[in-house]
Amino acid sequence: MLKSVTSSGVAAPQATTGATSPQAKMVTISINGKEVEVKEGSTIIEAYYQSGLDIAHYCWHPGLSIAGVCRLCMVEIEGNPRLQIACNTTVVAGMKVNNSSAKVKDAVKWGLDFHLINHPLDCPICDQAGECGLQDQYMKYGQYDSEMGEQKVKKHKVVDLGPRVVLDSERCILCSRCVRFTDEVSKTHELGIFNRGDRAEIGTFEGKPLANNYSLNTVDICPVGALTSRDFRFRQRVWFLKNAETVCTGCSTGCNVKVYFNKEGLFRMKPVYNPNVNGHWMCDVGRDTYKFVNKEARLLEAKVVSSGKSQEMPAMELAKKLGATLRGHGTSAALVLTGSYSVEEYEAIVSYFKTDVGTKNIYHWINNPETFDSFDGLLFRGDKNPNTRGLLEVLKAQGISGSWKELVDGIGTGAIKTVVVAGPENQANFPDMKVKIAELSKVAKLVWLTSGKNAELDALTGDVALLPVKSYVEKAGSFVNHAGLRQQVDRVMTVVPGAVSLTELVDLMKEVGDAMTVKSTAATETVPAISANQIGQGRINNEFTLSRGVW
């Protein structure tokens, strides 16, 4: 397990204790009078998390080194006259720690008071409100009346640290999580703490903005509203949003994510801890993958263009028509697949083409062959598809090995008359979109399955049909990441009610003229392309995601 963490380059200094390694030796300590078993070598704060207990803290983060600067994680250790910080004290067998005594509570309360001395308390206009460490911990441990009579120190507000992150220095509690992130995880070292005492501020160096591909993680780990996301800023109050877990489709790493949405659509994405895939983080490119899902970007109705006339119709109707055309079409039909769809969908449509249509003309459209195998050393991969590996394995299992040249030649000679394209979901990742559309539109009949709108496709004349398909949040299915890890996701929400998944499309196409066969229960019954031992842990819950707040 640990191996997969380090091999994907995720810096996880405390991974030994964060991951559940069976060999770890356990020691017994007493927390708040309760005997608990914790892993040897854990810090006290980790012991609290391992046993599901609450402890106040700001600067400690399971994915970063220990700073010990916020002084909020105070505990009483028996035999020790003074309070100690839990994040930087290692447990020893028989240790008796306590954070429920009046002494600890008092220390936390006045620690909080110190943090809030110069805090502007502009919660009404602060994006963090509702998921703020200050609000949460004040309600839990504070609830005092401020005893400060001094004026507050004024600092910089609305500072653009980079293209995606906005800083409000007044709200910052100088926990240094963001600085440690750029030092230890992204290793780009943009952020630093400048000045001293109550003038201390987070900042960047002249001409070196916070512009790395992981910058938005600093917004996530900032326990207060000091760092906010330029993209999400002011668009919604967080308490109006629901969330659900899924997998990012930005590249073949398949980071585990939470999408935040309401009835208007998706608003933002945050990483979910999974030691086998992404650790605690995700990249900034991946955070934009909610945009093409929203209604503005989507194809809402099916559209058929023939002999110069265009007509809109429900996707279901077009699917049935297609079924009638494709049934028994034979080798003059071809299917083009991109790596955006789920394994189940590939299995359904590939076996439909093989058995019902009667052709093995199935081709894989690779978007950016030059950068396909590149990797930035942390998470982001050059293969910007969520499921290339799943697609390849399905194609292999079904014995399909067509080259793109065959398809182009087939179209050129007129041997291929109908092409069905399961087009890309994230069109921005397909720089060759225009070229491919031009190439494929030479065929006599083109059927393009797409979740998003596209101006070039809309402008096509000739015999063309566009059919709206579901995006990754609208269907259940599994994606196989670069390492062969199969991750199952559930449906999150419906954005375009009329859209269908490829599996549903196949079912609809099969219904036509096929009253004799029982309605297919999709291709889940076909040979599983990925053997069981490759089905690894998908999205997991663990001590950190369970008991921590969002910050």
Partner 1 sequence: MAIAIEKVKRAEATDTWYMPGILWGLLLTFKSLVLNLIDYIPSVVGVKKRQIMPTVNYPEEKYEYSPRFKGNHVLTVKKDGSLRCTACMLCATNCPADCIKITASEHEDPSVEKFPIAYEIDILRCVFCGFCEEACPVDAIRMGPEWQTPGVNGSEFIYDIKHLAYRPQLKGGIVSVLDEKERHEAGI
Quote the CA–CA distance of 51 and 54 in Å, as a whole number: 9
Residue 134 binds which of ligand FES, partner 1, ligand SF4, none (CB < 5-8 A, kind-dependent): ligand SF4
Residue 54 or residue 264: which is nearer to partner 1 going by CB? 264
Residue 162 or residue 386: which is nearer to partner 1 going by CB? 162
Question: Min. distance of Cβ 237 from partner 1 in angstroms?
Answer: 5
Residue 237 binds which of partner 1, ligand FES, ligand SF4, none (CB < 5-8 A, kind-dependent): partner 1
Residue 126 or residue 304: which is nearer to ligand SF4 going by CB? 126
Applying CB under 6 A, the span of 165-173, 250-258, 375-383, 401-409 interacting with ligand SF4 comes to 165-173
Residue 234 binds which of partner 1, ligand SF4, ligand FES, none (CB < 5-8 A, kind-dependent): partner 1
Residue 228 or residue 503: which is nearer to partner 1 going by CB? 228
Site residues for partner 1 per CB under 8 A:
122-125, 150-152, 154, 157-158, 233-235, 237, 239-240
Tokens of 77: 């250790």
Given candidates 41, 68, 484, 536, which one binds ligand FES under the rule CB under 6 A? Answer: 68
Residue 233 or residue 548: which is nearer to partner 1 going by CB? 233
Residues β-bridged to residue 419: 334, 446
Residue 280 or residue 470: which is nearer to ligand SF4 going by CB? 280
Residue 225 or residue 468: which is nearer to ligand SF4 going by CB? 225
Does 224 interact with ligand SF4 (rule: CB under 6 A)?
yes
If DSSP codes are grouped into helix, strand and coil, which group holds residue 43? strand
Per-residue DSSP letter, 104: H
Draw the binding track, 506-535, toward ligand SF4 (x: CB under 6 A; -: no contact). ------------------------------
Applying CB under 6 A, the span of 33-41, 64-72, 112-120, 348-356 interacting with ligand FES comes to 64-72
Residues β-bridged to residue 28: 37
Q: Contact 505/297 with Cβ under 8 angstroms?
A: no
Does 173 interact with ligand SF4 (rule: CB under 6 A)?
yes
**Distances from the Cα of 83 to the Cαs of 38, 78, 510, 530, in angstroms?**
21, 10, 71, 54
Does 305 interact with ligand SF4 (rule: CB under 6 A)?
no
Question: Min. distance of Cβ 51 from ligand FES in angstroms?
Answer: 17
CA within 13 Å, CB half, 259: 25
Q: Contact 336/422 with Cβ under 8 angstroms?
A: yes
Question: Min. distance of Cβ 113 from partner 1 in angstroms?
Answer: 16
Residue 144 or residue 240: which is nearer to partner 1 going by CB? 240
Residue 157 or residue 396: which is nearer to ligand SF4 going by CB? 157
Does 166 interact with ligand SF4 (rule: CB under 6 A)?
no
Quote the CA–CA distance of 118 and 257 in Å, as a whole number: 34
Residue 64 or residue 277: which is nearer to ligand FES going by CB? 64
Applying CB under 6 A, the span of 65-73, 215-223, 241-249, 442-450 interacting with ligand FES comes to 65-73
**Cβ neighbour number for residue 6 with a 10 Å cutoff:** 12
Quote the CA–CA distance of 544 and 542 in Å, as a whole number: 6
Quote the CA–CA distance of 359 and 350 in Å, as a whole number: 10
Given candidates 39, 61, 71, 119, which one binds ligand SF4 under the rule CB under 6 A? Answer: 119
Residues β-bridged to residue 191: 204
Does 222 interact with ligand FES (rule: CB under 6 A)?
no
39 CB-near residues (< 8 Å, 6+ apart): 17, 24, 25, 26, 27, 46, 50
Site residue total, ligand SF4 (CB under 6 A): 25
**Distances from the Cα of 276 to the Cαs of 7, 42, 143, in angstroms?**
10, 20, 40
Applying CB under 6 A, the span of 62-70, 116-124, 341-349, 524-532 interacting with ligand FES comes to 62-70
Task: Give me the DSSP letters along 431-486.
Answer: TTHHHHHHHHTTSSEEEEEESB--HHHHH--SEEEEEEB--GGGS-EEEE-TTS-E
Helices 502-511, 343-351: inter-axial angle, 10-degree rounding: 30
Q: What's the sign of the alpha-carbon dihedral 140, 145, 149, 154?
A: positive
Residue 58 or residue 232: which is nearer to ligand FES going by CB? 58
> Under rule CB under 6 A, which residues in 71-130 are in contact with ligand FES?
71-73, 85, 87
Residue 132 binds which of ligand FES, ligand SF4, partner 1, none (CB < 5-8 A, kind-dependent): ligand SF4
Pick from 205, 214, 203, 210: which is nearest to 174 by CA?
203
Helices 315-326, 502-511: inter-axial angle, 10-degree rounding: 60
Given candidates 36, 70, 266, 282, which one binds ligand FES under the rule CB under 6 A? Answer: 70
Residue 535 or residue 550: which is nearer to ligand SF4 going by CB? 550
Pick from 76, 160, 72: which is nearest to 111 by CA?
72
Residue 85 binds which of ligand FES, ligand SF4, partner 1, none (CB < 5-8 A, kind-dependent): ligand FES
Quote the CA–CA distance of 46 and 240 in Å, as a whole number: 32
Question: Min. distance of Cβ 264 from partner 1 in angstroms?
Answer: 11
Does 395 interact with ligand SF4 (rule: CB under 6 A)?
no
Per-residue burial over 187-199, b = 16 or more CB atoms within 10 Å of its CB, e = otherwise = ebebbbeeeeeee
Question: Min. distance of Cβ 290 from partner 1 in angstroms?
Answer: 19
Residue 470 binds which of ligand FES, ligand SF4, partner 1, none (CB < 5-8 A, kind-dependent): none
Quote the CA–CA distance of 540 and 551 in Å, as a whole number: 18
Q: What is the SS3 string spanning 299-355?
A: CCCEEEEECCEEEEECHHHHHHHHHHHHCCCHHHEEEEECCCCCHHHHHHHHHHHHH
By the criterion CB under 6 A, which residues form the site for ligand FES? 57-60, 68-73, 85, 87
By the criterion CB under 6 A, which residues form the site for ligand SF4? 119, 121-123, 126, 128-129, 132, 134-135, 171-178, 202, 222-227
